[in-house]
Amino acid sequence: MTVRRDFKEPARCRPDLVIGRDELFTGARDQLTRGGSVLLHGPAGIGKSTVLRALAADYGESARTVLRCSATESESHLPFLALADLFGLVLDEISDKLPVAQRTALESALTGRGESTLQRDGLALRLAVLSALRALAAAGPVLLVADDLQWLDSASAELLGFAARRLGDTPVQLLCAVRTEEQEYDRHLRASPPDTLAVRLNPLSRAQVSALLDHRGYTDLPRSTMREIHRTSGGNPLFALELGRALGESPTPPRPGEPLPVPTSLRALVLSRLDMLSGEARRTLLVASAGARPTLALLHAAGRENAEAETAQAAALGLLATEPEGPAVRFAHPLISAALYAEAPAQERRAAHAALSTAASDPIERARNLALATTGTDPEVAARLAEAAALARDRGAPSVAASLGLLAARHTPPDDAPAPDDRRLQAAEDAITAGEVDLARDIAREVLTRATVPAERIRAWEVVIEAAGQSLGEVDAVFPQALADAGDDPRLLALVHYRLAWRKLIVEGDFAEAREEAAHTADLAARGDDRRTELMALSFQASTETLMGHPNAPTTIRRALREPQDPYVACHHNGVGAARFRWLLMSDQLPEARSTITALLREVRRRGMVESEVHFQRFLAETELRSGHCGRALDLARESLRLARDSGIGLGASAMLASLAEASGGDVDRALALAREAAGKAEEDGDQMYVSRALAALGHAQLVAGDAAGTVGSLRRVRELEQGLGITDPARGRWQGDLAEALVRVGEPGEAQDVIDVTREHALRLGRESVLAVLDRAEAMVRAARGDHEAALSRLTSVQDRLAKLGYGLEEARAAFALAMLRTGRPGPTSYDEAARLFRRCRALPWLRQVDAAVAAAAPGAVAVPQQTAPPSDALEGLASMERQVAALVMEGATNREIAARLFISVKTVEATLTRVYRKLRIRSRVDIVRLAAGRHAK
């Protein structure tokens, strides 16, 4: 007999699990598949029940019998209730298989007849539960699913714990969930089978919370609101959903600087202990909830004389988690602070802010509290807020500046100067810098409904266009309106034509027209005495000319570098610094390109320029990839992709670069998926420029995966697209060598030679030495395919040396690999040792796997590279992220000072990290790490 309880949730529930729980789910599923048990634990609302139900539905099909119980607090005093839930439906199946005494005791406990107790029938009941499980398991595997173990009645918990500890090899598995705080799950783990895996559910990230809310239909929330939901919920999915629901039902969204509305359901959940506080203690906590960084000193300065005693009382009730040795006052959960604030009357909240407006030491915090303590317009308050916004902007906190700017606009009288809408537009521009494009667009659209001054309207249109990102086709209707508003003012026209230049490039895919539009913009800006727009236009023109292979590119870069410069343009991702970096990278000046982009990345992080940070992180990853530092490139590319997903900026471009990094140093299947995602995103945005880049990444991933035909299909399309775009510089995408190699593999050496000849002409004209070397490598394969092996061998040897001198480590390793493959089966020495060594130095794991495959397929008698026990990255798997990065750079031969510079840490931090690496890997020195890189065991 098979007894199954229905654990399958409606279709909507499983996607909730997938969001942010993929790795956790896979690990728990693997544990169950191996025959082990799983204990899920975490705080209330973290999603334990959702994961439990999904695991039971997913794995339950493998069990013959599935038993379930779900306890509640109100029923936890009823003895044997959980036992009745578990065995009530199978009692008839197993009763005749139990000894009489055990059967009697179990039936009495389950039915309530006979008043069985643990004190009277303890041993018989314990043995009965164990025997019952063994009897069920004799017919097939048993899965026992128990939710909310903390509410399990004590009698049932005792009996199940007794049986679990004695099941041994009996095919009975437990899948349980228990509410815990921090790591308090040991008691429940001791009552589980010895092979139980404890899995803690941690808070969701901001991107995961956003995805969860999107799935539930809360799709119109601005990014700034989403960030506040994540902060207030602490990443708890239940809390986040309740906050999202409250916002969805609220007729008016919260104003800038105000906390989120907290629904009654959550207030009741977190504030039940407030009634036990004294009135004065509650007022002290209200002041703490109104402050950004509350401390005991701040509470004293705000007039709370007994702050120590009152916060200690709150901490004893679990409302605060005060630091034992520090002054900080920290709420046990952000939601407690938000609910306490929401519960307070408006007058009391204003009083708390008024006290903090004089008590806070930071001018930004004083201004914020003054605004929240003031009702109506007040020019003095507005001016102080505008000053605070400027200070936040200078500190590299544009998101804070945007919030303060909106508060300043709210308190600015209509006839004041600057006007309220001037301050709103400044806030919108700060929001753009911070990556909060939804907020920026909404502000600009609101201003456009009433603005009449041309300069003000153009400023608002700029925000609307900038907020569209790569999807410029979606705002086509804006351009005629903006041109009409600009009239014949060259300064305003320059702003509009700069955006039109980008449209020519992204939407129309016309590099030549985009270049002409950029040059026209620079002339208009010079006439209008707008140096910033002139420099941005020249930078755009230079970048376009570089990608086109236009001979004027160096001259335009020099024009863009002339004084006077603008600090904003100098570090902007479309500014002159980025244009110069692109030229250096394409001109094979890798060390200078790395130092340039590293400095730019440091500066935009200081300024809080999120969009530029996304792009520069990707640029640095690309530089490391070309240098053959595949592990470092992979870490940077993954971080760039995470930041892009979190901010909603540059997602397609980051996915494209992450695909290249995965194909070189990570997982090829992930590389293929990311390349397809990037291509889909570019197609969706109508971004002609990045469609070809994404397809080039796809072709490369297909080549590494061994799909030569797929590579040919993808890269032939790239060739057609770039011919149509007018791109002639082969250093832009560097896909031509891959196409030629794939064509040789599919038996098309003639077409491969044609690709090589056409590309070489452009590479010679532009002096692209690394491209020429890669083309020579591909041509060697063409010659080998035509039977001219001696010429092919000679060329490959030369190519490897040239690429090594240029610093292209991965391309050098590919040349060595091609050389070893060409020698296989021929008279003379044949070895893959050199290729394996070079790929290992690069941490190019997918290529190492290709070497292993080639060795396995080598002809009998060929000298093959010894099989390694594990590639270096496997040895590093147990290390933390920073430890892996430091160890990987040591493998590449970097000194401690070089590692510190590349990772933005101190030399002392490098030394301390290496000490931990030595201990974890059980080695003694840097030499042992290098031995790992060479595939030898440390001695």
pLDDT of residue 186: 64
- pTM for the whole thing? 0.67
pLDDT of residue 652: 87
Is 499:479 a contact under the CB 8 Å cutoff? Answer: yes
pLDDT of residue 902: 59
Contacts of 539 (CB under 8 A, 6+ apart): 560, 569, 572, 574, 575, 576, 578, 579
Q: Which ranges of the chain have pLDDT less than 50?
A: 1-16, 324, 827-829, 859-873, 936-939
pLDDT of residue 874: 53
Q: 858-886 burial by CB neighbour count: b if 16+ within 10 A, else e? A: beeebebbeebeebbbebbeebeebbbbb
Is 795:782 a contact under the CB 8 Å cutoff? Answer: no
Distance CA 531, CA 155 (A): 79
Q: For residue 143, how many other CB atoms are within 10 A of its CB?
A: 26
- Using the 8-state DSSP alphabet, how is residue 74 labeled? G
Distance CA 87, CA 78 (A): 16
Distance CA 873, CA 613 (A): 27
Helix axes 881-891, 630-647, angle to 10 degrees: 150
Contacts of 299 (CB under 8 A, 6+ apart): 284, 287, 288, 307, 311, 329
- Using the 8-state DSSP alphabet, how is residue 258 labeled? P
Among left, alpha and beta (phi > 0; psi -120 to 50; other), residue 432 is: alpha
Query: What are the backbone dihedrals phi and psi of residue 144, each rounded to the nearest 5 degrees, phi first?
Result: -105, 120
User: From edge to edge, which strands make up the β-sheet containing 196-200?
Assistant: 65-70, 142-147, 172-179, 37-42, 196-200
Distance CA 7, CA 842 (A): 48
Task: Give the rounded distance of the alpha carbon of 310 from its chain centre.
Answer: 40
pLDDT of residue 62: 82
Distance CA 89, CA 537 (A): 76
User: Smallest Cα–Cα separation from 719: which of 745, 696, 698, 702?
Assistant: 696
Is 469:649 a contact under the CB 8 Å cutoff? Answer: yes
Q: Which residues pair with 179 in a beta bridge?
A: 42
> Tens digit of pLDDT for each residue in 617-647?
999 999 999 999 999 999 999 988 888 887 7
User: Smallest Cα–Cα separation from 64: which of 97, 90, 43?
Assistant: 90
pLDDT of residue 48: 86
Task: Give the rounded distance of the alpha carbon of 416 from its chain centre.
Answer: 43
pLDDT of residue 187: 65
pLDDT of residue 537: 95
Distance CA 167, CA 243 (A): 44
